[in-house]
Structure 1
Amino acid sequence: MPTQPDERRELSVFLRSRRERLTPDDVGLPRTGRRRTPGLRREELALLAGISATWYTYLEQGRDIRVSDQVLNALATALRLDRYERVHLFQLAGHAPVTKAAQPEPLAAEVAGVPLLLQPSPAYIISGTYEVLSHNRAAEELFPDLTAAVGRPPNFARWVFLEPAARDVLVEWEQEARGLLARLRTLAARHPGDTRYDGLVDELKAGSPEASAWWPRYDVQTRHGGRKRLRCPERGVVDFAYTAFHLAEDPEQTLVIYSDAREAARLPDRT
């Protein structure tokens, strides 16, 4: 069990957010009496997980108590957590390695030059706090005003939530923004008390009503590849495939490469 108050508070918020998103109908329980709070009651969740309601209440209140892997697995099942949320639960409970707060190492010149070598494919390297550490011209053209910040490094999270151009470029802006915030939540939980994450989250919540409304939902997600529909100035809406590679020197620094999904589909199969 985490011993620091802020870590216990994070676990408390996460458990409560996941309990409140479930209803008795979701888990096959009868509705009894008038419900004054959203989601399941604490005693209902404890029943589903096979644990004491009093003990679960202490856990959700952030008290300094010990919890076993068996209990965490039971809670994860009862709360219907997906695999990302399950890993996140174990991390918050101190049952998985947590990366301590640290300033990111500067990129070596040969690493910083990789996006330039990938031109004309849009590519950039981001830190755990979504600072854009290196990028090429194609990325700058694909994400207009990404590098317009003065006096501080460009930041992809700030661009998505605070830059008006993002809502035009990202065709499914809400979906993309929610996913980014979920990934930021996951990364922030690995660095409890790290002012870099705290400051970024506060800035996003202050400047974006969506970020302020979504952050308490406690969605979590890991960085991954996928597809995005982006609106390009000269080509209109294009379906891009993107791939994320974690750097060996710092796994939270990520190289992201974009390619036209239609062109990628025409590549010969070498299997």
Structure 2
Amino acid sequence: MTSAPPREAGGRGAGRRRTELAAFLRSRRERITPDDVGMPPGPRRRTPGLRREEVAQLAGVGVTWYTWLEQGRPINASTQVLDAVARTLRLDGAEREHLYLLAEVPEPASGEAAGLPEDLQSILDALDPTPASVTNDRCDVLAWNAAYAAIFPHLVNAAPCERNSMWMALTLPPCCNPIENLAEEAPMHVAVFRHRYSRHMNEPAWKDMLRRLHAASPLFTRLWAEHEVALPGPRTKVFRHAAVGLIRTRTTHMDITASPGTRLIVYTPTDDESRERIARLMEDPGAAVPDHTH
């Protein structure tokens, strides 16, 4: 049985905030169609977008809880649950921040970058124009240099909760997906992720990541069912950028002992043409900006 929401507190200002929160969530829900999230349209709808129960299902939260949230009732919301709602409603960075402010929940710091050694960004910057990044076991991208940002603008400009190389590789549509050899790389991505998952399977953030990938990527679900495991290692990775074409690299992984569970990944261009194309992107930052968003 669902308990009643707590009594309203906080005065007139809190009431206005909850009214605004209710209207904001409703407007974001109504702009997403069932087809957008791979759900059948079902019987004739009274609302132009998703139903409340569909948002709750996709976000992995209770229908009653989400209904109360959208009604502006004074309920408690965790950052993890708000993140799930934000992803389901496809909120961009500004919208996500707005949601947290209206829900009166402090927005979490971006990823785990605060725990990295203080000299690491200087090391990344010194590697320019060779692309490099720092990731954790879950594939969250925690830090990067300018060359990396030039190749992967969708990734570095994403909300912190979506700044993840697995998410990018397996959910971006073909028009924006930078991985040219995805057919080769996707199975290895998933196999390495499964190997790491075995050490973290009881952690909420890992459970949430697994649920989101299953919901968003049929390719991930198919590969996950194969139960392949692999260790990370050097790989030839080919990327395509709309402004310059193909960029061929060889990756090198180096564990960061001062921050267990994180690693420095360096993408070394394998030919002069790829080096020249990275240089062109760095010289013209406007060319690296995506021409559209999803």
Q: Tell me the distance in 2 between the aligned counterparts of 1:152 and 1:134.
A: 14
1:164 shift after superposition: 2.3
Which amino acid is 1:179 matched to?
A: M
Displacement after TM superposition at 1:214 (Å): 1.4
Show the counterpart of 1:161.
Answer: 170
- The alignment partner of 2:157 has SS state of coil
Q: Quick one: distance in 1 between partners of 2:222 and 2:190?
A: 11
Give yes or no for the alignment of 1:176 onto 2:185: yes
1:144 aligns with 2:146: no
Classify the secondary structure of the residue corresponding to 2:180: coil
Question: With structure 2 as the length reference, what TM-score do the two structures score?
Answer: 0.51
Offset, 1:258: 1.0
Aligned twin of 1:3: none
- Cα distance, 1:157 vs structure 2: 1.1
* Contact preservation (8 Å) 2:137, 2:196: yes
Cα deviation digits, residues 215-248 of structure 1 (max 9, x gap): 1211111111121122134442232111111111
Taking the TM superposition and a 5 Å limit, the aligned residue runs for 1:1-271 are 106-150=115-159, 152=161, 154-164=163-173, 168-263=177-272
> What is the distance in 2 between the residues matched to 1:192 and 1:156?
19
What code does the residue aligned with 1:133 have?
A: L
- Give per-residue Cα distances to partners, 1:173-206, cap 9 Å, x unaligned: 1221211111110001012311221111111110
Secondary structure at 2:185 match in 1:
helix
> What SS class does the counterpart of residue 134 from structure 2 fall into?
strand
Query: 2 CA distance for matches of 1:179 and 1:229?
Result: 14
CA contact (8 A) 1:244 1:254 kept: yes
- On the 8 A contact 1:112/1:133 being kept in 2, the answer is no
- Structure 1 counterpart SS, 2:210: helix
For these two proteins, the number of residue pairs brought into alignment is: 162
Root-mean-square deviation (CA, aligned residues, Å) is: 2.4
Q: Which ranges in structure 2 are unaligned for 5 or more consecutive residues?
A: 1-111, 274-294
For 1:243, the aligned partner's letter is: T
Give the whole-Å Cα distance in 2 for the aligned partners of 1:106 and 1:187: 20
What's the TM-score, normalizing by structure 1?
A: 0.55
What is the CA-CA distance between 1:168 and the residue it aligns to? 4.1
Match of 1:71 in 2: none
Q: Which amino acid aligns with 1:149?
A: A
Q: Distance in 2 between matches of 1:165 and 1:147?
A: 18
Aligned identity (percent) is: 21
CA distance in 2, matches of 1:190, 1:245: 19
Match of 1:61 in 2: none
**d(CA) in 2 for partners of 1:167, 1:182:** 23
Distance 2:212 2:130 in 1: 31
3-state SS of paired residue (2:248): strand
How far apart, in 2, do the equivalents of 1:244 and 1:200 lie? 22
Counterpart contact for 1:178–1:214, Cα < 8 Å = yes
Structure 1 unmatched runs, 5+: 1-102, 265-271
